[in-house]
Amino acid sequence: MDSPQELERRLALVRPEDTACGYFFNCALDEVRRQDDEAVLKRCIEVLGQEKFAAFFNYPISSLLRLLYTAAWGLSEKHGGFERALRHLGRNVAQEFLRNTVGRTMLLLAGRNPKRLAEGLPSAYRTGWQHGISTVQWMGPGQYTAFIHGNVIPYPYFEGVLSEVLMATGVANVKVTGQQIGPADSEFALTWG
């Protein structure tokens, strides 16, 4: 998953209309800045060609993919590997999301109920991504399966996002386990309680 060849394989799946909101870019860059590693930050900015993004403007998913790979490669030693660095970047973006108006509204509407929150994940996904779709399926008390179809971002990033969002409800024993089920498709087992 962490090889340059895998990055190129994922980039080959991206269409010109595939985009994501700028706050995903800003969150990754801000986290790299917090890690106080100028060399990694410089590489990330070089990959992007810029260092600031309008939060709710859409940018190419190919640029975000390159940024996340560059950041995860650079932060992997500090975080115990590439996948853990991606999870860390995903948790960070979720924390930022939950501080903004859309995220706070999502939590308010869920009433701190993880089931309602899980059911709202596809709508939340659509606010930031014009790349793929997200669906959820109830599996029983405290168990959902989430699917992300048509998104080339590696699943550990979304494991971090989903874990952080579910933990925001205050529920105990949150566990999110993802797996790649297709070239641009991921499946996540969400459990809590």
Which residues, including other chains, have CB under 8 Å from residue 28's CB and lie 6 or more apart?
44, 64, 67, 68, 71, 89, 92, 93
pLDDT band, very low/low/confident/very high, at 110 (cuts 50, 70, 90): confident
Can you read off the two tokens belonging to residue 80? 């115990």
Give the residue-averaged pLDDT of 33-47: 96
- Does residue 101 have a pLDDT over 90? no
Whether the full predicted model's pTM is greater than 0.75, yes or no, is yes
Domains of the chain: 4-97 (no CATH), 114-191 (3.30.1360)
- Does residue 78 have a pLDDT over 90? yes
Residue range 120-147, pLDDT digits in tens:
899 889 989 999 999 999 999 999 999 9
Rounded-to-integer distance, Cα 94 and Cα 90, Å: 6
Alpha-helical runs (H) found in 80-178: 82-99, 101-110, 114-128, 155-167
CB atoms within 10 A of CB 131: 24
